[in-house]
Structure 1
Amino acid sequence: MLFRGAETHARSVLKAVSWRTLGTLDTFAISWFMIGRVEIAGSIAGLEVVTKIAWYYLHERVWADIQWGGEGELVFGRREQKQRRPLKQRPISA
């Protein structure tokens, strides 16, 4: 399987779509403000939504496989929490 990470592919896709919805609205508003034409702003926003969803999805899947900075370790594509070692008991001095 390509890019086995701690998240499912469906979760990564949903995150990408929700993030791009916000980003596309922002791109549309900025384009409309800068250019002053709704049609061109809509074209810009429509094109960038497709390309940026693909890039975001790929970015998420690559980072899901990078162990640096994560908690636990990847085992069979799933992140498992490390067992914490118990604290050493120190004798109490009188």
Structure 2
Amino acid sequence: MDVWKGRPRSSATRSVLKTLSWRITASIDTFLIAWFVTGTPWMGGSIALGEILTKLIWYYLHERIWAHINVE
């Protein structure tokens, strides 16, 4: 089975837009969970902000890798 294809299956621009829309959704989720666990919205916000940058980078890399994988 030829899993890796040389040509991406979607554009880099599409991956960036998907990354941003997902990150907003996931950060709201993280904020709400952290607020619930800690009991303070300020701590929830701190936790949510702390994870935004790293997860944006990881998700974008994940998308670009998957754009090259052929599972059909």
Q: Same fold (TM over 0.5)?
A: yes
Any idea what the Cα deviations from partners look like across 1:1-43, whole Å, max 9, x if unmatched?
Answer: xx85121111101001101111000000000001011111111
* 2:14 pairs with one of 11, 15, 33: 11
> Deviation at 1:49?
1.3
| Alpha-carbon distance between aligned partners in 2 of 1:46 and 1:63, rounded to the nearest angstrom | 26
Structure 1 stretches lacking a partner, 5+ long = 70-94
The AA in structure 2 aligned to 1:25 is I
Query: Is the counterpart of residue 68 in structure 1 residue 71 in structure 2?
Result: yes
Moved over 3 A (4+): none
Residue number in structure 1 paired with 2:52:
49
The letter for the 1-side match of 2:31 is: F
Higher helix share: 2
Bigger RCO of structures 1 and 2 (CA < 8 A, at least 6 apart): 2
Q: Distance in 1 between matches of 2:32 and 2:49?
A: 12
Aligned residue pairs, count = 67
| Root mean square deviation of aligned Cα | 1.4
How far apart in 2 are the matches of 1:65 and 1:41? 36
One-letter amino acid matched to 1:17: L
More strand by share: 1
Larger radius of gyration, structure 1 or 2? 1
